[in-house]
Structure 1
Amino acid sequence: MFQIDLVEKCKKNDRKAQLHLYRQYCDAMFCVSMRYLKNIDDAQDVTQEAFIRAFQKIDQFKAEVAFGAWLKKIVVNKCIDFLKSRHEHYLSLDENILNVVDDDNWKIEDDVSVDEVKLAIEHLPEKYKYVVMLYLIEGYDHSEISEILGITQTASRTQLLRGKNQLKELLMNKGYGARS
């Protein structure tokens, strides 16, 4: 069955179609939740809540993006909301004194694995970790990150730049050879 057909059936509250979509995406969305929450029980709960929310709001899905991308945004938002509810707040930056420069030339050596980068990201301060994850791993741009985290685009750029600098330091200290 085509995905758009499943979504249309879900819009009509077809439980079999919902179950089919759930089974198709539950593992991938659980992995997204785990990247943020690091706890199996919390990730399962948040993933379930995200699916409930998605099925409640499925009428808002307009197929402008793939269903998986739309669902992933809901999962990420639910994870961020969960973390915020646990009082993990983001540092508010005084943007009037910031001079943000985009640093798109940052690279790491070819022998550094994705897992090593992800592990290093976990050691970043909270205020940088989620911006770096959303940008580098999830592929969101600064306008999307600002919306998800409730910060400005300038704050997103600044936190990303500082987070990438700290990530580079972490990788260099581990001997992975990050370079500018």
Structure 2
Amino acid sequence: MTEDAIFQGCLQNNASAQKELYNRYSPKMLAVCYRYGHNREDAEDMLQEGFIKVFSQMHTFRNQGAFEGWIRRIIVHTCINHLKKNKKFNDSVDITYASGIEIREENIPSVIQAKQVVECIRLLPIGYRTVLNLYAVEGYTHKEIADMLDIEESTSRSQYTRARQMLEDVLVKKSIIQKPKQKTRLLALFAK
């Protein structure tokens, strides 16, 4: 079934088209939800809620940009709303870095397993993780993030900076990377 046929079928509330849409995009969107959720159960709740919104807002898609990108934006906003509704984002964040992180002088390996990095990002406090995902992965500006999360723009910037540092510390502690003398290539990826 083509993407256009799926779209047209979903507009008409056709169950097989909705199932096809869900089957086609749910694995990628679950990965998005997993980055924001506290655990797999949270991520699955966000995914279900997000697809309900996708189906109910299908008539608002105007063929401007990618259909998958439109779905992704709805899913990301659903994740943020879920965190805000459950007050998970507003939990206080204590910045305590693990002591005893061994500093090494070698560079990070040229290839880091994406799954390992995602798992390390999930270890960050929810506020840091959310800002890091929105800024570095989704491409939102600090102003947009501040508006979405009802925080100050400066708070978004500082949480992002702290998230990058904490992520590096976690990656070093788990021996995924080694702490170099200069800025790591990993952090360079997140340093927009």
| TM-score when normalising by structure 2 | 0.70
7-16 vs 63-72, greater mean Cα deviation: 7-16
Report the equivalent of 1:141.
140
Provide the secondary structure at the position in 2 that maps to 1:73. Answer: helix
Report the equivalent of 1:104.
none
Superposed displacement of residue 170, structure 1:
2.6
Q: Cα deviations across residues 99-140 of structure 1 (Å, max 9, x unaligned)?
A: xxxxxxxx954243323322322232222111112333x332
Report the equivalent of 1:12.
12
Provide the secondary structure at the position in 2 that maps to 1:140. Answer: coil
1:13 maps to amino acid: N
Report the equivalent of 1:45.
45
Provide the secondary structure at the position in 2 that maps to 1:79. Answer: helix
Provide the secondary structure at the position in 2 that maps to 1:72. Answer: helix
Report the equivalent of 2:24.
24
Distance (Å, rounded) in 1 between the aligned partners of 2:168 and 2:41: 32
Change in CA separation of 1:91 and 1:161 when aligned onto 2, cut-off 3 Å: farther
Distance (Å, rounded) in 1 between the aligned partners of 2:65 and 2:151: 24
6-15 vs 127-136, greater mean Cα deviation: 6-15
Change in CA separation of 1:117 and 1:41 when aligned onto 2, cut-off 3 Å: closer
Distance (Å, rounded) in 2 between the aligned partners of 1:144 and 1:7: 29
Change in CA separation of 1:154 and 1:2 when aligned onto 2, cut-off 3 Å: farther
Report the equivalent of 1:115.
115
Superposed displacement of residue 76, structure 1:
2.0
Provide the secondary structure at the position in 1 that maps to 2:89. Answer: coil
Aligned residues: 165
1:89 maps to amino acid: F
Structure 2: gaps of 5 or more residues: 93-106, 184-192
Report 1:157-168 matches (<5 A): 157-168=157-168
Distance (Å, rounded) in 1 between the aligned partners of 2:41 and 2:172: 34
Structure 1 runs (4+) greater than 4 angstroms displaced = none
Q: Cα deviations across residues 20-56 of structure 1 (Å, max 9, x unaligned)?
A: 2112112222232223224333333321221111111
Q: Cα deviations across residues 56-107 of structure 1 (Å, max 9, x unaligned)?
A: 1111111222222211222222222222232213479xxxxxxxxxxxxxx9
Q: Give the RMSD, CA atoms, in angstroms.
A: 2.7
Superposed displacement of residue 19, structure 1:
2.0
| TM-score when normalising by structure 1 | 0.74
Provide the secondary structure at the position in 2 that maps to 1:30. Answer: helix
Structure 1: gaps of 5 or more residues: 93-106
2:60 matched to 1:60? Answer: yes
Distance (Å, rounded) in 2 between the aligned partners of 1:33 and 1:63: 24
